[in-house]
């Protein structure tokens, strides 16, 4: 089982290389991140963008351009569409955002005719957090895409977290559906949703994991709190995955971890045919590499 984010690198080195396709890789941040991922043996890389710009960046950064497959497309939107087309043609296993704006990147993924979405699929965001105060990695969602998930979307999020946890080597992930309280309250929709999803898992409608909820955050991740509150069950105090009731709860947890606890993380967009890296310029090199590694590990 992978217990630290760095462990992903060793696992990937031993596997057949997946192909990362970077959409509109016309910036040094993207080129450098893909270059490092290749040097670490995590992936092989295809850069879609303006060939002259990419070659110039490689020259300035001291990077050997020959390590990449470069697909020339100087137009931003067309580059995103070309990157998606390469995935659909079987020439890539994971997608990464380059200099292309987030809305154009997402538009290429969501395009009904030429995008990466199967009918009825739900696009979501999965983050893996390494917090020094917790005894293992935490797989959490959704902190960035779905503002107020309804029960159908929460079921999808739960399944995505289970898949990512399994790709990290967790044989039977323990999933906590987070709420304000572990008491089921008919007046709180998230509480009702959590109780329904937990019962669905009990009956085999959600497979491959132990799912419990609603659980307050302290009960989900702290054994002592669970014992004091007399909450039993395998998930209490030992969760691998946290499903948040809405984007506010998830995003506050995510930023508290990064800003106050200085946690390391990797994050991917899931629900499309392949995982997608949606890193920002502000992300550290480590975060970008962890996100690429996570995408490569979770790619089917």
Instruction: Dig out the tokens for 158 from the structure.
Output: 């739960």
pLDDT confidence band for 253 (50 / 70 / 90): very high
Percent of the chain whose predicted confidence (pLDDT) is above 90: 95
pLDDT of residue 78: 97
Q: Which residues have C-beta within 8 Å of that of residue 179, sequence separation ≥ 6?
A: 188, 190, 191, 194, 213, 214, 215, 216, 245
List the 94-97 sheet strands across, edge first: 68-72, 43-49, 18-23, 94-97, 276-277, 264-270, 124-130, 138-141, 241-243, 174-178, 210-215
pLDDT in tens, 150-191: 999 999 999 999 999 999 999 999 999 999 999 999 999 999
CA distance 55 to 72: 11
pLDDT at 147 over 80: yes
Which residue in 25, 102, 38, 23 sits closest to 280, CA to CA? 102
pLDDT confidence band for 275 (50 / 70 / 90): very high
CA-based R_g, the chain, Å = 20
Helix (H, G, I), strand (E, B) or coil at 109: helix
Q: Containing H/E element for 110?
A: helix 102-110
Q: Is 136 exposed, middle or buried (0-12, 13-18, 19+ CB in 10 A)?
A: middle
pLDDT confidence band for 285 (50 / 70 / 90): confident
pLDDT of residue 276: 96
pLDDT of residue 73: 97
Domains and CATH numbers, the chain: 7-120+272-298 (3.40.50.10950), 124-264 (3.40.718.10)
pLDDT of residue 283: 79
CA distance 292 to 288: 6
| Average pLDDT of span 98-125 | 94
pLDDT at 46 over 90: yes
pLDDT of residue 132: 96
Strands 18-23 and 94-97: parallel
pTM reported for the whole predicted model:
0.94
| β-bridge mates for residue 139, sequence order | 128, 241
pLDDT at 242 over 90: yes
pLDDT in tens, 186-210: 999 999 999 999 999 999 999 999 9
| Average pLDDT of span 241-254 | 97
Instruction: Dig out the tokens for 213 from the structure.
Output: 């909820």
pLDDT at 280 over 80: no
pLDDT at 45 over 90: yes
pLDDT confidence band for 111 (50 / 70 / 90): very high
Could you tell me the CA-to-CA distances from 125 to 20, 25, 40, 76 in Å, in that order? Answer: 18, 22, 25, 24
pLDDT of residue 282: 72
Task: Count CB atoms within 10 A of the CB of residue 300.
Answer: 8
pLDDT of residue 279: 77
CA distance 31 to 155: 36
pLDDT in tens, 47-87: 999 999 999 999 999 999 999 999 999 999 999 999 999 99
């Amino acid at each position: 089982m992978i217990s630290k984010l760095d462990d992903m690198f060793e696992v990937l080195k031993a596997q057949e290389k997946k192909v990362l396709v970077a959409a509109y890789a016309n910036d040094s941040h993207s080129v450098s991140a893909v270059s490092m991922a290749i040097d670490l043996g995590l992936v092989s890389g295809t850069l879609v963008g303006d060939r002259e710009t990419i070659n110039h960046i490689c020259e300035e950064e001291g990077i050997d351009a020959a390590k990449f497959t470069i697909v020339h497309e100087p137009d931003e939107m067309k580059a995103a569409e070309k990157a998606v087309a390469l995935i659909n043609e079987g020439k890539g296993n994971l997608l990464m955002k380059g200099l292309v704006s987030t809305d154009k990147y997402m538009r290429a993924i969501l395009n009904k005719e030429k995008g990466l979405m199967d009918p009825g699929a739900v696009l979501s965001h999965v983050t893996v957090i390494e917090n020094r105060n917790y005894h293992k990695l935490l797989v959490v969602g959704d902190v960035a895409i779905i503002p107020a998930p309804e029960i159908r979307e929460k079921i999808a999020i739960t399944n995505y977290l289970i898949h990512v946890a399994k790709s990290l080597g967790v044989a039977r992930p323990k999933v906590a559906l987070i709420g304000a309280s572990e008491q089921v309250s008919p007046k709180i929709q998230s509480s009702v949703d959590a109780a329904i999803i937990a019962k669905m898992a009990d009956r085999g409608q959600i497979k491959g994991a132990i799912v419990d909820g609603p659980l307050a955050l302290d009960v989900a991740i702290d054994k002592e709190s669970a014992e004091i509150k007399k909450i039993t069950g395998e998930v209490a105090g030992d969760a691998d995955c946290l499903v948040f009731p809405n984007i506010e709860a998830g995003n506050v947890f995510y930023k508290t971890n990064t800003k106050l606890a200085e946690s390391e993380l990797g994050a991917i967009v899931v629900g499309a045919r392949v995982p997608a890296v949606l890193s920002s310029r502000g992300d550290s090199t480590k975060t970008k590499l962890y996100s690429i590694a996570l995408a490569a590990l979770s790619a089917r």
